[in-house]
Chain A
Amino acid sequence: MSGGRLRLSVNGRPTELADVPPEERLLDTVRWRLGLKGTKEGCRTGECGACTVLRDGHAVLSCLLLARDADGAAITTIEGVRSDPVGERVRAAFESAGALQCGYCTPGFVMALTGLLREAGRSTPLDELLEDLGGNLCRCTGYSTIVRAARAAREGLP
């Protein structure tokens, strides 16, 4: 990774970036270099989950990742979630359940749930799935509609 060159696949598109400083977070790369502002900056300390993206299919906190340490990874953000069948199912479940209010935590929730359902489908018991979703904070909804969306998205998965 000499010269600060960073190669990523972002939402299925090969992306090569030059002069990415070593200390830059993936969150900032995605938001400010690539202009994908759907990934939200909340606490920037890994506690709120608003910045969740998928790295090679797994949910990660983009605020706690050095962008260049993700060299070679496939990154999926909320802007690309519809091209993943599980992601689209989750997105649609949130929309249909009205599982959002201010919407700031929403992309992170969608990415986190997409990651969880991609990992295990329906094999994870609902209780455990919801526990695993507890890494994302929401201040508006009281989680009720989000739980409804999660349950709906899980239904019908293999």
Chain B
Amino acid sequence: MAPFELVAPATPDEAIAELGALGASDAVPLAGGTDLLFDLDDGRLAPRRVVSLRRLPWQTLDWNGPILTVGSTLPLRRLETDPEVRTRLPGLYTAVRAVGSVALRHQATLGGNLGRSAPASDLVPMLLALDAEIDLVGPQGARTVPVDQFVIGSRRTALRPAELIRSVRFPEPRPSAYLWQRVRPFRDISQMAVAVAYSPARARWRVAVAGFPPRPLLVPEVEDALGPVLPPARSDLDRGAHVLSTRAPIVGDKRASEAYRRQIVRPLLERAVRRASGEKAGS
């Protein structure tokens, strides 16, 4: 590991200034560190300065009516232990608990997970299905980006130089579910994952798939096929599963073949939609 200086500014402005004073590869933000430290260790990143965000006032969780706002440096464990998250955003609860271990989630943060945008993230697909919005703050001020425009590739985000994720907003409670297929059911990287959520406001299902390169993605054709109601009609669920299995841009890699992924994505979608619908759909 190349030597770096570690700073821990107390305010967002100071943090942005610390980052902005150096180039993007010379200064990196540190949240929980559970992913960043690997890159520092093996030299994939060799910054001169690491800016710890731990003193920023962003370890927050606020319900404002239907809207949940999660501060970017809130440890994931605090997100999963919020009783309202569990009942109002059940898919998010499940996806958070799919990340690492409890100890890891006491360190890891939602902002870190998004900012690092690992291709195997269990959170990004769920955030896609929940239409999460990312509040950013940087040298040019604040802006908000929908999550599907934020994660643009494997380890690639829409973050601009010295910009930080301040919070993540979930617009409404949604019946939702997150399901995965793994060789080892717990604490493994998913061969395939499906996140579904039903938006009452938009009368529409949202479906994201993940587990294959290059990044988690929404599948609007499947959402169209599922129709506007909760639970969807049996025939619509069949059609959605068929569309997902045959038309989604699924590829194979060392974790699973394309054929196997196309086979298992059907039951994963059906089960996820049933779970989100309270097990009622298509039964």
Contact = CB atoms under 8 A, between A and B. Distances in A.
Are A and B direct contacts in the complex by CB distance below 8 Å?
yes
Interface string A42-66: 0001110100100100111100111
A64 B4 CA distance: 17
Nearest to A55: B106
A113 to B, nearest CB: 10
Contacts of A12: none
Nearest to B34: A64
B52 A61 contact: no
B267 to A, nearest CB: 23
Size bracket of the A interface:
20 to 34
A121 interface: no
Given A22-B5, A64-B33, A69-B8, A58 B106 contact: yes
A98 interface: no
Contacts of A116: 102
Contact of B4 (A23, A49, A112, A131): A23
Contact of A65 (B4, B102, B107): B107
Nearest to A23: B1
B63 interface: no
A76 interface: no
Q: Which of A47, A66, A71, A134 has the most CB of B within 10 A?
A: A66
B33 A59 contact: no
Interface string A81-99: 0000000000000000000
Nearest to B37: A64
B271 interface: no
Contact of A22 (B4, B77, B101): B4
B106 A135 contact: no
Contact of B8 (A25, A61, A71): A71
Contacts of B50: 22, 66
Contact of A66 (B6, B100, B101, B186): B6
Nearest to A137: B187
A132 B37 CA distance: 24
A68 to B, nearest CB: 5
A68 B6 contact: yes
B33 A66 contact: yes
Contact of B30 (A60, A61, A69): A69
A135 B187 contact: yes
Contacts of B186: 131, 134
B107 A64 contact: yes
B141 interface: no
A1 interface: yes
A59 B6 contact: no
B159 interface: no
Nearest to A1: B8
8 contacts: A1-B8, A22-B6, A61-B107, A64-B32, A64-B34, A66-B50, A119-B81, A134-B186
Q: What 3 A-B pairs are tightest by C-beta distance, nearest first?
A: A135-B101, A22-B6, A59-B103
